Chain A
């Protein structure tokens, strides 16, 4: 037996994700997966699900969802003002009844809200992950009136009800490491880089987050071969712009890879809102 969730309103960008794929980078297929992996893991932990169970990733403005069968859902990541059948409810694990409408539109802190469902959504696997791939998948995100199936369970499963969504970390410093092409930068450029205030541009998508900042001092004619890149790689363009590669990034790139965000920083960075100011802090490698 399956339940069905209807997308009444899709929100800004809502998609099905898991922890991403392994084993296809040699074919230039991106990793994909939840941008904030820590929150995605948390949601499944709250529900006692498999860590890799498909979950909903909601961006900046969440969706309105209608469920046709009882289920249990959990939320983590961004803070959201949840409405269940139009009534505000202050819980991160919810018991849903048939016909319930869940409104997740108002995200107040952070950018990405993860919604998990007990036993997981039923997703088609595409190269061993449910994440869509640009150019190959027919759609990248949910549209109005789309339907998403989920597993039904007779017994209400055990939950980790005490596991609250983590309080939001509001400091605006993103820790990063020297990237493979870091040595191209001069002492002056490195010093100024860590003092520059950056913002994420609105054109950010799951592949790459271009940054805004006064970085004329980074203008360059560096020339490197096309080389491997990973989620978290920060590229430097000739005009001095920084681009942070995210989970759907290509597997190779031709711009110098000056910095790398470690996993923890990717998760934190993914939760920064567009136009929010932040600093990059260079961590010495241990």
Chain B
């Protein structure tokens, strides 16, 4: 039996939105990811695709195959008989991050604004384990939860035209990594040398919603060594546990 009170609504002509209680909560996230997984496998006729956020699941369906009313009934019945207790497989990934000001544009000013030193920033940012809630914003951009409250800082008042690929940023209570060059307003406190999104790969993103990540501080030399091995295709992301 589904444990949360969910609300289903029509969204445009070909999407249905399922809302869980609107909170950032690992248990809500786990429940909706498992339900999403079930929908993806169970309904081949009308199901086209889906995407998830912290507390919503957006299902794209084929209106020629099912009416919204029937879809809503089907989803309700499916959730009622759904058991989310079975834990899915999830991985804990180690992501190398260099916090050196040479590759982390805002790390000095960030520390000044927070009145901390670089060592403190590195410690607080890299000693926690983050949950990957979902992918959004840019192809392969991970929404991470669990950042140390002492690192919260509003986004920059003027966004940058171009944030480098791999940049690790902080905005409000969120931290994340830019998978490609993009405009952006986050405070850039680190840079990761690894590829988070590989368009050439059949599964372009090795990290999945529900996984966990931990940042591993690296120095400038290691940073450029990893850049080289990524370029030569002999870097594999390090799994701390399965």
Q: Answer yes or no: do A and B interact.
A: yes
B143 engages A24 (CB within 8 Å): no
Interface centre among B11, B23, B48 (most CB of A within 10 A): B11
- Cβ proximity bits A154-175 to B, threshold 8 Å, 1 near / 0 not: 0000000000000000000000
Closest to A262 in B: B13
**Chain B contacts for A251, CB-based, 8 A:** 51, 58, 135-136
B12 engages A232 (CB within 8 Å): yes
Chain A min CB distance to B23 (Å) = 8
Chain B min CB distance to A282 (Å) = 15
- Return 17 A-B CB contacts under 8 Å, by A number: A23-B48, A27-B140, A136-B197, A136-B199, A225-B22, A225-B54, A225-B56, A226-B53, A226-B54, A226-B143, A227-B56, A228-B17, A251-B58, A252-B143, A260-B11, A262-B13, A285-B10
B53 engages A263 (CB within 8 Å): no
Apart from A228-B57, A230-B58, A261-B12, what are 16 other A-B pairs with CB-CB below 8 Å?
A: A24-B49, A26-B50, A27-B197, A27-B204, A28-B139, A135-B181, A136-B139, A136-B199, A180-B19, A228-B51, A228-B53, A233-B12, A250-B136, A251-B51, A251-B136, A260-B11
Interface centre among A226, A231, A250, A260 (most CB of B within 10 A): A226
Interface residue B229 (Cβ < 8 Å from any Cβ of A): no
- Cβ proximity bits A41-65 to B, threshold 8 Å, 1 near / 0 not: 0000000000000000000000000
Interface residue A91 (Cβ < 8 Å from any Cβ of B): no
Given A27-B204, A28-B138, A136-B139, also A22-B11 (CB < 8 A):
no
B141 engages A28 (CB within 8 Å): yes
- Cβ proximity bits B47-75 to A, threshold 8 Å, 1 near / 0 not: 01111111111101000000000000000
B14 engages A263 (CB within 8 Å): yes
**Chain A contacts for B51, CB-based, 8 A:** 25-26, 28, 228, 251-252
Instruction: Give chain B interface residues in 121-149, CB to chain A under 8 Å.
Output: 134-141, 143
Instruction: Give chain A interface residues in 1-46, CB to chain B under 8 Å.
Output: 22-29
A252 engages B139 (CB within 8 Å): no
Closest to B48 in A: A22
Instruction: Give chain A interface residues in 226-264, CB to chain B under 8 Å.
Output: 226-228, 230-233, 250-252, 260-263
A225 CA to B29 CA in the complex, in Å?
A: 13
The range of chain B's interface size is 35 or more
Interface residue A224 (Cβ < 8 Å from any Cβ of B): yes
B9 engages A180 (CB within 8 Å): yes
- Cβ proximity bits A167-187 to B, threshold 8 Å, 1 near / 0 not: 000000000010010000000
Picked from B9, B15, B50, B182, the residue with its CB within 8 Å of the CB of A135 is B182
Chain B min CB distance to A5 (Å) = 26
A230 engages B12 (CB within 8 Å): yes
Interface residue B218 (Cβ < 8 Å from any Cβ of A): no
**Chain A contacts for B230, CB-based, 8 A:** none
Closest to A179 in B: B11
B205 engages A27 (CB within 8 Å): yes
Picked from B15, B134, B180, the residue with its CB within 8 Å of the CB of A136 is B180
Instruction: Give chain A interface residues in 89-135, CB to chain B under 8 Å.
Output: 126-127, 133-135
**Chain A contacts for B15, CB-based, 8 A:** 228, 230
Closest to B208 in A: A26
Interface residue B6 (Cβ < 8 Å from any Cβ of A): no
Interface residue B24 (Cβ < 8 Å from any Cβ of A): yes
**Chain A contacts for B9, CB-based, 8 A:** 180
B143 engages A22 (CB within 8 Å): no
**Chain A contacts for B13, CB-based, 8 A:** 262-263
A113 CA to B206 CA in the complex, in Å?
A: 40
B180 engages A27 (CB within 8 Å): no
A261 CA to B11 CA in the complex, in Å?
A: 9
A27 engages B139 (CB within 8 Å): yes
**Chain B contacts for A133, CB-based, 8 A:** 139
Pick the 3 closest A-B CB pairs, nearest first.
Answer: A252-B136, A228-B58, A135-B180
Closest to A263 in B: B13
A23 CA to B140 CA in the complex, in Å?
A: 14
Chain B min CB distance to A252 (Å) = 3
Chain A min CB distance to B211 (Å) = 14
Closest to A260 in B: B12
A233 CA to B15 CA in the complex, in Å?
A: 12
**Chain B contacts for A126, CB-based, 8 A:** 199
Closest to A136 in B: B199
**Chain B contacts for A25, CB-based, 8 A:** 49-51, 58, 60
B180 engages A26 (CB within 8 Å): no
Chain A min CB distance to B16 (Å) = 10
Given A180-B11, A263-B13, also A225-B135 (CB < 8 A):
no
Interface centre among A27, A233, A250 (most CB of B within 10 A): A27
A23 CA to B204 CA in the complex, in Å?
A: 13
